[in-house]
Amino acid sequence: MARVKFLCDADRCIDCNACVTACKNENEVPWGINRRRVVTINDGKPGERSVSMACMHCTDAPCAAVCPVDCFYTTGDAVVLHSKDLCIGCGYCFYACPFGAPQYPKTGNFGSRGKMDKCTYCSGGPEPDLTDAEFEKYGSNRMAEGKLPLCAEMCSTKALLAGDGEIIEQIYRERVRTRGYGSGAWGWKTAYKETVST
Return the beta strands (E) in 42-175 as ranges: 49-53, 72-74, 80-82, 160-164
CB of 2 to other proteins, least distance (A): 25
Q: Please say which residue, 114 or 163, places its beta carbon nearer to other proteins.
A: 114
Separation CA 107–CA 123 (nearest Å): 24
**Which residue type is seen at 96?**
A
Q: Is 165 in the site for other proteins (CB under 8 A)?
A: no
Give burial (CB, 10 Å; 0-12/13-18/19+) of 95. exposed
The site string for other proteins over 7-26 (x = CB under 8 A, - otherwise) reads: ---xx-----x--x------
Q: Which of residues 112-131 bind other proteins (CB under 8 A)?
A: 112-113
Binding-site member from 78, 125, 187, 196 for other proteins (CB under 8 A): 187
193 touching other proteins, by CB under 8 A: no
Binding other proteins (rule: CB under 8 A), the pick from 2, 25, 30, 98 is 98
Question: Of the two residues 143 and 151, which places its CB atom closer to other proteins in the complex?
Answer: 151
Q: Which of 129, 147, 157, 179 binds other proteins (CB under 8 A)?
A: 179
CA separation for the pair 35, 85 (Å, rounded):
19
Min. distance of Cβ 34 from other proteins in angstroms? 5
Asked if residue 65 binds other proteins (CB under 8 A), the reply is: yes
Can you spell out the DSSP letters for 12-66?
A: T-----HHHHHHHHHHTPPTT--SSEEEEETTTSTT-EEEEES----TT-HHHHH
